[in-house]
Amino acid sequence: MSDAKEVFICYSHLDRCTAQNLADILQGYGFTVWWDHALLGGDNFRKLITEQIHDAKVVLALFSTRSVQSGWVIDEAGRAHQSAKLVPILIDEVEVPLGFGQLHHCNLVHWNYQRDGEAIEEILVAVERYARHPRCNFRFQVQSESAAAPRTGERAPRDRFQVGWLPDKGVRSVMRTLLPVYALALLVAAVMAASPRAAVHQWVRLLHVYSGMIVLGGGLFLFIVFRFGDRAPTSEERAAVADAARPLFGGWRIAALAQLITGFILIGLRGAPLSGWVIQGVLFYLFAVYFWLAGFGHALSAARHDALYQTGPQIVEYRRMRNRHLVVAVVLTAWVLITMIYRDDADLSRLLARPLGW
């Protein structure tokens, strides 16, 4: 292969931070490195990984408490071992998996991501031996994006399916177009209200209603997008659908936060914060937000596993959990929206009191 690399790094994606820092250091010393962050572009993953392991001169297998339980990692390491090009590296205090115990292993258990030290030197010597050429002078100072991140369970910033709290530029531009609508709502509230306090109260309530509509409508749209994405014939197309939904989810999350904040403001303005439709709506909405976030989290996890591994029971399970959580979220948010619009007429305690004769 023309794009074959000298070093292949085999690791669990929960150890991505360590893999990225190790790759940066090896590249700084002049070695070409392949690790599967490159897969996020939509390649034929299984075929490409097989080719890269075959063409690599050395495979570095990072063994941790996560990776020793990963059949994918063990399979990659086993193929490298059969080709006599495997270098096991411990990054946690674990036993080397069965079948690799006779190999000498390097120890990065207490590595602090520095490019010098005995542990890194041992790895560099092994790579030099397999690559059959010496390292170059270190060409740049490595400052990995995730160097300061904790190693356990941390996703690297370059993770394609990670959603930051700040939405993408395109989503932010759409959000800015809503500012005149909010200003108009304030003007309408000021004209119709009897006092400044009443105007603020009505304005916040309108913002609460607008945000609720965006949360319900946008959430339903994203739910439908993910469901249609499940039917795409290839993993590349399914990943493309998730790519389109991811920035929209970032904007949706801002609307969800706005609805929650305005709900608490309404509680403060009400004067009797522990009764009535406001507290009922906010409590229901807290449960709804949990189910929304959990559901979309399962959707992105399914997209990530689908993009990287293409098959597996985890993908089906993630999608099943996504559907369950989002259906509950839709029902709860719809009721919250009804409560926001009809207020006391939709107070759950009053609705229950009528047929029960309370």
At 64 the three-state DSSP class reads coil
236 lies in a domain? Answer: yes
The parent domain of residue 281 ranges over 169-356
Q: Are residues 54 and 183 in the same domain?
A: no
Q: What is the pLDDT of residues 217-240, one digit of tens each?
A: 999 999 999 998 888 887 767 877
Q: Which residues pair with 58 in a beta bridge?
A: 7
Last residue of a domain, one of 75, 109, 131: 131
Residue type (1 letter), 43? D
Last residue of a domain, one of 103, 131, 159: 131
Q: Are residues 113 and 192 in the same domain?
A: no
Last residue of a domain, one of 131, 161, 178: 131
231 lies in a domain? Answer: yes
Spell out the alpha helix ranges (H) of the chain: 16-28, 45-55, 71-82, 118-131, 169-176, 179-192, 196-230, 235-270, 276-309, 313-342, 348-356
Q: Are residues 185 and 333 in the same domain?
A: yes
- Of 90-94, 106-110, 272-276, give the lowest mean pLDDT range: 272-276
Q: Are residues 100 and 186 in the same domain?
A: no
CATH number of the domain where residue 61 is located: 3.40.50.10140
150 lies in a domain? Answer: no
* Domain count along the chain: 2
Q: Are residues 261 and 349 in the same domain?
A: yes
Q: Give the pLDDT confidence score for residue 292 in this predicted structure.
A: 92
User: Can you give the pTM of this predicted structure?
Assistant: 0.55
Residue type (1 letter), 92? D
- Of 36-40, 213-217, 354-358, give the lowest mean pLDDT range: 354-358
- CA–chain centroid gap for 58, Å, is 31
Q: Are residues 329 and 201 in the same domain?
A: yes
| Farthest-apart Cα atoms in the chain, separation | 88
Q: Are residues 331 and 227 in the same domain?
A: yes
CA distance 339 to 280: 8
